[in-house]
Amino acid sequence: MQGICLLGATGSIGQSTLDIISLHPDKFRLISASANHSVDKMAQICRRFKPLRVVMGSEKTRDELARQCFDLDISFEWGAQALDSIAADSAVDQVMAAIMGFAGLSPTLSGIRAGKRTLLANKESLVTAGKLFMDEVARHDVMLLPIDSEHNAIYQSLPQTSVGAHKKDVSKIILTASGGPFRTWSLEEMVSVTPAQACKHPNWSMGQKISIDSATLMNKGLELIEACWLFDVTPNEVDVVVHPESIIHSMVSYRDGSVLSQMGNPDMKIPIAYGMSWPDRIETSVAPLSLIDIGRLNFESPDVVRFPNLTLAADAWFMGGTAMAVLNAANEVAVDAFLHHKIGFLDIAKLNEKVLSTANIVAVNELEDVLEADKMARRLALNMVYSGWLL
Query: CATH code at 95?
Result: 3.40.50.720
Task: Tell me if 314 is assigned to some domain.
Answer: no
pLDDT at 388: 76
pLDDT band at 104 (very low <50, low <70, confident <90, very high): confident
Whether pTM exceeds 0.95:
no
Task: Tell me if 273 is assigned to some domain.
Answer: no
Does residue 76 sit in helix, strand or coil?
A: strand
My answer on whether 117 and 203 are in the same domain is: no
- Within 10 angstroms of residue 2's Cβ, the number of other Cβ atoms is 15
- Residue 122 annotated as lining a ligand binding site: yes
- Residue 269 annotated as lining a ligand binding site: no
Task: Tell me if 313 is assigned to some domain.
Answer: no
- Residue 124 annotated as lining a ligand binding site: yes
My answer on whether 195 and 300 are in the same domain is: yes
- Among candidate residues 279, 304, 329, the one where a domain is terminated: 304
| Range 138-147 average pLDDT | 95
Distance in angstroms (rounded) separating the CA atoms of residues 92 and 89 = 6
Give residues with Cβ within 8 angstroms of 102, minimum separation 6: 124, 128, 328, 329, 332, 374
Task: Tell me if 271 is assigned to some domain.
Answer: no
* CATH number for 364: 1.10.1740.10
Distance in angstroms (rounded) separating the CA atoms of residues 175 and 224 = 8
Q: Is the pLDDT of residue 78 over 80?
A: yes
My answer on whether 176 and 124 are in the same domain is: no
My answer on whether 236 and 324 are in the same domain is: no
- Residue 37 annotated as lining a ligand binding site: no
- Residue 123 annotated as lining a ligand binding site: yes
pLDDT at 204: 58
The answer to whether 5 and 82 are in contact (CB under 8 A) is no
Task: Tell me if 300 is assigned to some domain.
Answer: yes
| Range 207-235 average pLDDT | 92
My answer on whether 128 and 200 are in the same domain is: no
The answer to whether 232 and 322 are in contact (CB under 8 A) is no
My answer on whether 171 and 210 are in the same domain is: yes
Q: Between vectors from CA 226 to CA 204 and to CA 300, what angle results, nearest 5°? A: 55
| Best CA proximity match to 119, nearest among 148, 139, 141, 91 | 148
Q: Is the pLDDT of residue 165 over 60?
A: no
pLDDT at 310: 96
Distance in angstroms (rounded) separating the CA atoms of residues 380 and 288 = 48
Q: Write the pLDDT tens digit of every residue in 288-301.
A: 999 999 999 999 99
My answer on whether 115 and 178 are in the same domain is: no
| Range 117-123 average pLDDT | 92
Task: Tell me if 61 is assigned to some domain.
Answer: yes
- Residue 178 annotated as lining a ligand binding site: yes
Q: Write the pLDDT tens digit of every residue in 244-275.
A: 998 999 999 999 999 999 999 989 999 999 99
Q: Is the pLDDT of residue 84 over 90?
A: yes
My answer on whether 103 and 200 are in the same domain is: no
My answer on whether 169 and 245 are in the same domain is: yes
- Residue 34 annotated as lining a ligand binding site: no
pLDDT at 168: 76
Does residue 304 sit in helix, strand or coil?
A: coil
| Range with lowest mean pLDDT among 6-15, 124-133, 204-213, 280-289 | 204-213
My answer on whether 191 and 230 are in the same domain is: yes
Q: Which residues face 97 on adjacent strands? A: 7, 120
pLDDT at 162: 46
My answer on whether 224 and 239 are in the same domain is: yes
Q: Write the pLDDT tens digit of every residue in 169-194.
A: 899 999 999 998 999 999 999 999 99
pLDDT at 154: 95
- How many distinct structural domains can be found in the chain? 3
pLDDT at 160: 65
pLDDT band at 32 (very low <50, low <70, confident <90, very high): very high
- Residue 41 annotated as lining a ligand binding site: no
Task: Tell me if 311 is assigned to some domain.
Answer: no
Note down the domain range covering 238: 149-265+290-304
- Residue 200 annotated as lining a ligand binding site: no
- Residue 250 annotated as lining a ligand binding site: no
- Residue 219 annotated as lining a ligand binding site: yes
pLDDT at 202: 65
Task: Tell me if 18 is assigned to some domain.
Answer: yes
Q: Is the pLDDT of residue 390 over 90?
A: no
Distance in angstroms (rounded) separating the CA atoms of residues 361 and 363 = 7
- Residue 223 annotated as lining a ligand binding site: yes
- Residue 106 annotated as lining a ligand binding site: no
My answer on whether 90 and 156 are in the same domain is: no
pLDDT at 203: 61
| Range 303-318 average pLDDT | 96
